[in-house]
Amino acid sequence: MTEEPETTSRVRGGITPDSLLHSGAEGEFTAEDLVLASGRDVNPKNLEWAERRMAEKGRAALDELLP
């Protein structure tokens, strides 16, 4: 069995691998990154929530969720 590289479209066992999450420290982050960091499913409702939170809090929106 060959091990395949992790991609953004592949999550094993419902858990997002750390290599797919971004802390925001190395650059910009997206609404999808914020949704994933919050442990929510990526769907239109949660993406709208993330976009509002990013508009209100900026980078702190992600920093509050990640250690």
Query: Under a CB-based contact definition with an 8 Å cutoff, are residues 44 and 30 in contact?
Result: no
Q: What is the pTM of this model?
A: 0.61
**pLDDT digit string, tens, across residues 12-36:** 667 777 777 655 556 788 999 999 9
What's the one-letter identity of residue 60? A
Who's near 59: CB < 8 A, 6+ residues apart? 24, 29
Tallying the residues shown for the chain, one arrives at 67
**pLDDT digit string, tens, across residues 43-65:** 999 999 999 999 999 989 988 88
Q: Name the CA dihedral angle for 17, 19, 24, 26, rounded to a multiple of 10 degrees.
A: 170
